[in-house]
Amino acid sequence: MKDEIASAIPQELKEKEGETPVEKTGLEKKELLEQLRAFFESQLLAVLATQNGTAPYVSLVAFASDEKLKYILFSTTKATRKYLNLLANPSVSMLIDNRKNAIEDLRDAMAVTALGKVEPIEDFERSIMEKIYLMKHPQLVDFLHSPTTAFLKIRVEKYIVVTRFQHVVEVSV
């Protein structure tokens, strides 16, 4: 098994000491954001990482993003550890990936980490944000409209995109 994993990692992906992620700007940034938009449309779920002061906590959430990728939308029941963590500390990260839990993932999978802060959705924007979210997740309409559900947005500061297992680029939004 160990040899299978080693052979799935191309030689050029061996970690290079001191290599830092490249920040995309200009046309490269625009192209990367277009790729991310399509990637996000293809994925239904993401892993949300919150912090309670002593340890990180991760949860699976259904998500959607606005067209400019400035916000990621998600909903959660208010009576959850995740929600309590968000009230205490709005800084979060969210992982969106397309892994299939196969050896090929080391070469083919893409993982995007969004870093930002969670904010409530304001009354004036709720209608449009709900439309965006429910276009992707129509089965969640009753859950979203429940009084026990919090509908939230992450104001994204930066995306970190990892492809080919170790190729890392960053883009600020």
Contact 151, 131 (CB under 8 A): no
Q: Mean of the pLDDT values across residues 95-120?
A: 94
155 SS3 class:
strand
In terms of C-beta density within 10 A (0-12 exposed, 13-18 middle, 19 or more buried), how is residue 1 classed?
exposed
Q: What are phi and psi of 61, to 5 degrees?
A: -135, 150
- What is the predicted pLDDT for the residue at 90? 97
Range from 25-29, 100-104, 111-115, 160-164 that averages highest in pLDDT:
111-115
Please write the tens of the pLDDT for every residue from 48-98. 999 988 899 999 999 999 999 999 999 999 999 999 999 999 999 999 999
CATH number for the segment(s) 2-10+20-172? 2.30.110.10
pLDDT of the residue at 20: 62
CB atoms within 10 A of CB 109: 17
Predicted local distance difference test score (pLDDT) of residue 165: 79
Strand 71-77, strand 56-65: pairing: antiparallel
**In degrees rounded to 5, what are phi and psi of residue 135?**
-65, -35
CA-CA-CA-CA torsion for 96, 155, 30, 27, nearest 10 degrees? Answer: -120
Which residues are within 8 A (CB) of 119 and not within 5 positions of it... i.e. 6 or more apart? Answer: 90, 152, 153, 154, 155
pLDDT tens by residue, 14-60:
344 445 667 776 778 899 999 999 999 999 999 999 998 889 999 99
Pair 9, 109: CB distance under 8 Å? no
